[in-house]
Amino acid sequence: MLERKVVRLTAGSAVLGLVLAAGVVTLAGPWDSGQRTAERARAAAQAPASGADHGAPGPARPAPRPPAPAPSAAGVLAALTAPGTRAAREPAAPPPRALSATLGPLFGDPGLGPLRTASVIDATTGKQLYGSGAATPMTPASTIKIATAAAALSALGPDHRIPTTVVATADARRVFLVGGGDPTLDPARLAALAADTARALRARGVTSVQLAYDTSRYTGPERHPIGVNDNIAPVTALMTGEGRLDGSTSGPAPRSADPAGDTARTFAGLLAKQGVTPGKPPARARAPKKATPLATTRSLPLSALVERALTYSDNDIAEALARQTAIAAGRPASFAGAARAVEERLRELGVPLNGARFADGSGLDRRDRVSAALLTSLLAEAADPSRPQLRPVLTGLPVGGFSGTLADRYPDGSPGAGLVRAKTGTLTGVNTLAGTVVTADGRLLAFAFLAGRTASADGAQSALDRLAAALTG
């Protein structure tokens, strides 16, 4: 085992990078890995418009010394920051014939079921190196989050923050808590918003109000078509902590049936603690168009939300990203409006959309359809130096054996550990994997493997992992 690790490290393995990442994770923030922070630091140094700064704005101060990139970061970022366009650079990727000989037997694994498609491209040139049914639309499960994230970043930019606001009538006697669609609003920010609101009301000489809450930013059904499910809360413009009832921050959890009402009632209690009587229990109502702003809190930048959605396959954030894309396009922020807005935005990116269908933003809906070629094209767009706003699509991908939904796959010492970065997708009978790898000679490849009618999730995932790991050789 030791000899195997030495060989892998000599070939450029990221195992040492994982150690470095663990050492700086406390500096990276609760939704970060040190490895991704290091990569963004280097990317930001060469592409300052990347929007990778996830910190809150504050007074000017000397720029901190960026952390050293993890060993794996250099290989990943080389393709992203080299001068010139993708088309101008000479490809140095594995020959398609050799790659076919390597992947062909693995792609034939019966664990992948009878429906399977694949696409592997050179992320620098966009050249297809391996494909099997690459243009065939398939149910993508959560790999559709790559498309959702790319659309949102393209529409809004990585620095966009989702607001939650408090407004009042002219006499400040009626106050409205207005949701902007931030599913990550947490108790601390809600408490700070209440304190700011109370301060603004006291400045107007008001200590008694009638509180209401406004969720009109979103339209259409709040329930996802899958119904009540621990994987997603009702999709509403106002909620706290994704409506989770168990204090968790990722994965399935019991959800509130009324996250907007719960948030408003909590806010009313917080106002009372600040000396402002909130009146009767808050009811849902639309705020006046000319209401007076009292206080605002904003989410982390969209780049951080995208990373969270991809790393932990966060369905609530993914649906919020889709609706924010709809709002930016002037479309209704509903499942249907978001689907149209995402497709329109991707069409502007020039990626192949034949047969694509975006029934939701999270991939929980089995009516979703995307092709392997669409996913690899999006990953290549995110690697394009001319599109730095899309970079979080890459930096948010889980790292094999280390982070997010790949933390328990690619155990230490196995092929692909620390080198495979990919979005997972899992529904009953559907298993998918799409992401990037760095080859032994430092070339960045994008891949997508989609499998349908699989008999065993474990068998399918193992087959997918072997396919991705083989690309690193």
Phi, psi torsion values for 164, nearest 5 degrees: -125, 125
Q: Among 451, 449, 452, 454, which Cα is nearest to 436's?
A: 449
Joined tokens for residue 406: 């790949």
Q: How far apart are the first and last CA of the chain?
A: 17
Q: Residues 104, 105, 107, 109: what is their CA dihedral angle, to the nearest 10 degrees?
A: 170
Q: Return d(Cα 43, Cα 467) in angstroms, integer.
A: 28
How far, in Å, CA of 253 to CA of 320, rounded? 18
% helix, strand, coil for the chain, step of 5: 40, 15, 45
User: What Å distances lie between residue 298 and 57, 63, 92, 327, CA to CA?
Assistant: 11, 23, 44, 16
**Of 13, 72, 119, 142, catalytic:** 142
Catalytic, out of 50, 145, 303, 377: 145
Give me the residues paired with residue 97 across strands: none
Annotated active-site residue 142? The verdict is: yes
Q: Are 198 and 271 in contact (CB under 8 A)?
A: yes
Q: Where are the alpha helices (DSSP H) in 47-186?
A: 71-81, 96-107, 144-156
Identity of residue 267 = F
For the question of residue 256 being annotated catalytic, the response is no
Distance of alpha carbon 371 from alpha carbon 354, whole angstroms: 8
DSSP state of 11: T
Task: Return the structure tokens found at 259.
Answer: 């996250």
Sole residue written with tokens 């007074």 = 59
Residue pair 423/414 in contact (Cβ under 8 Å)? The answer is no
User: Read out DSSP for 31-70?
Assistant: T--HHHHHHHHHHHHH-GGG----SPP-S--PPPPPPPPP
Residues facing residue 433 across a β-bridge:
424, 449
Q: How far is Cα 98 from Cα 78, in angstroms, rounded to an integer?
A: 23
Is residue 127 annotated as a catalytic residue, yes or no? no
- Token pair in block for residue 456: 């065993």
SS3 label, residue 41: helix
Tell me which of 256, 303, 313, 334 is the catalytic residue: 313
Where in the sequence numbering do the catalytic residues fall? Answer: 142, 145, 313
